[in-house]
Amino acid sequence: MNKQKTKTALALALPVQVILVKWIGSYPEFVEQYYSNGIYPIISQFLRTLFGWIPFSVGDILYLAAFWLAGKYIFKNWKSIKSKPLLFGKDILVVLSIVYFTFHLLWGMNYYRLPITEKLDIEKEYTKQELIDFSLYLIEKTNHFQSQITGDTINPVQIPYSRSNIFQKTEEGYNELKKTYPFFEYKKPSLKASLFSLPLTYMGYGGYLNPFSNEAQVNGITPLFRLPTVSGHEVGHQLGYSAEDATNLIGFLVTSKNQDPYFKYAAYNHALGYCLSDLSRKDKEKFDEIITGLNPGVKENFKELTAFWERYENPLEPVFKSMFNTFLKVNNQEEGIKSYNSVVGLLISYHDRNGF
């Protein structure tokens, strides 16, 4: 009887938690001061100390164990589940209540912190002419590093590093970035290739942060020239920045600040991809005009990336994207999955104020 009372209390706690999170989240200054810059750094560094030294993803193992245990429970108790569905429904609510609490305690409250626009004194708004001018600037920078690396304009850039080398150099990039912005200091690294890299590719994702183990997970089969910015992006989530446009900006900054020319190329190439995609939607004629200025080697890298994702296209990918879109909107990201592309405005504004 006491067990059922406990379950009932936990189940009823779920809607109370939702209301409480939304209420606290309506005070972003409070969240910024007491959670994102208070409790969270302690929690995250503890988890990274606990799991960061392990060469494989502990969080992925935990997910596998959770799915296996759930399947085993349903299989063993199928008859009682069918005969007492309301009790099973209560069990589901209990699990959701515990997961919801743990998620927001360990990482999720960062969705309600102050936006990075206030942190860096930048904005998202920009004109089409600003987009065109900035795209031309990025073409110049991307062409420069491609020709510097390859010695010509024709060959694509092939990064000569292993994944572990790239992870190490990402840490070095954060050491550079913290000289300008001390709040981007990256202590106790925990950056790993996901055990689910192949499923992630079919889902269309480059990586994710495991909020329960605080491991930054990257898609290990992503083309290597894209991996530096993806790694920087996921570490940005580790540091408590939840918005995708914010971590895209952080991924660019930390990769472009790196002294390695391959990393600089990766940064400018990735930023250029977002800007060209935005321009193609807003002014196809101007897009067709300015891409003629791209070095053939840069175009080959873009083709390599396109071919990679096309190889894994499947009917379920839009379903996964839709689910993630809903998840982001529920967690205070009004733009949903479109927030990835909002980085264009942040890049333009940051460049106008600080250059790079």
Phi, psi of 182 (to 5 degrees): -55, -25
- What is the separation, in whole angstroms, between the first and last Cα of the chain? 65
pLDDT at 332: 59
Nearest to 241 by CA among 193, 187, 184, 189: 184
Q: Where are the domains of the chain?
A: 2-112, 118-354
Q: Residue 213 and residue 192: Cα distance in Å, rounded? A: 12
**pLDDT for position 310:** 87
Strand 215-218 with 207-210, pairing: antiparallel
In this prediction the pTM is: 0.90
CB crowding 25-49: b at 16 or more within 10 Å, else e: beebeebbeebbeeebbeebbebbe
Closest C-alpha to 319, from 202, 207, 230: 202
Confidence at residue 340, expressed as pLDDT on a 0 to 100 scale: 52
- Extract the tokens encoding 264: 């600089």
Sheet holding 207-210, edge to edge: 191-193, 215-218, 207-210
Helices 244-257 and 261-282 cross at an angle (nearest 10°) of 140
The C-alpha atoms of residue 170 and residue 212 are separated, in whole angstroms, by 22
| Six token digits for residue 18 | 């939702």
Side-chain-side CA neighbours of residue 307 (13 Å): 7
Phi and psi (nearest 5°) for 57?
A: -80, 110
Q: How many CA atoms lie within 13 A of 287 on its CB side?
A: 13
Give, for all 356 residues of the chain, the pLDDT tens digit.
Answer: 577 788 888 889 999 999 999 999 999 999 999 999 999 999 999 999 999 999 999 999 999 999 999 888 888 878 888 887 787 888 889 999 999 999 999 999 999 999 999 989 898 889 999 999 999 999 999 999 999 999 999 999 999 999 999 999 999 999 999 999 999 999 999 999 999 999 889 888 899 999 999 999 999 999 999 999 999 999 999 999 999 999 999 999 999 989 899 999 999 999 999 999 999 989 999 999 999 999 999 999 999 999 998 898 877 667 655 665 565 566 655 664 454 568 899 999 999 988 78
pLDDT at 325: 59
Structure tokens at 72: 């085993």
